[in-house]
Amino acid sequence: MRRDRSMKFNILVVDDKPEMLRYIKSILEEFYTVYLIADGVTALAYLQNHTPDLIIIDINMPQMDGFTLLENIHTMDSLKSVPVIFLTASANPENEIRGLRLGAKDFISKPIRRESLLQRVQMQITQGKAEQEIKKRYEQMKQEAEKARIYAMQDELSGLWKRNYI
> Any idea what the CATH number is for the domain that residue 22 is in?
3.40.50.2300
Domain count, the chain: 1
What average pLDDT does the chain have?
Answer: 91
Q: Which residues contact 157 (CB under 8 A, 6 or more apart)?
A: none
Evaluate whether residue 143 is within a structural domain. Answer: no
Whether residue 2 is predicted with pLDDT greater than 60 in this model: the reply is no
pLDDT tens digit string along 58-117? 999 999 999 999 999 999 999 988 999 999 988 788 999 999 999 999 999 999 999 999
Q: Which residues contact 146 (CB under 8 A, 6 or more apart)?
A: none
Evaluate whether residue 155 is within a structural domain. Answer: no
Evaluate whether residue 153 is within a structural domain. Answer: no
Domain assignment of residue 128, given as a range: 10-136
pTM confidence score: 0.81
Whether residue 27 is predicted with pLDDT greater than 70 in this model: the reply is yes
Evaluate whether residue 36 is within a structural domain. Answer: yes
- pLDDT attached to residue 73: 96
**Kind of pairing between the strands at 10-14 and 54-58:** parallel
- pLDDT attached to residue 106: 95
Whether residue 159 is predicted with pLDDT greater than 50 in this model: the reply is yes
Evaluate whether residue 21 is within a structural domain. Answer: yes
Evaluate whether residue 3 is within a structural domain. Answer: no
Whether residue 19 is predicted with pLDDT greater than 80 in this model: the reply is yes
Stronger pLDDT, 81 or 32, i.e. the higher one: 32
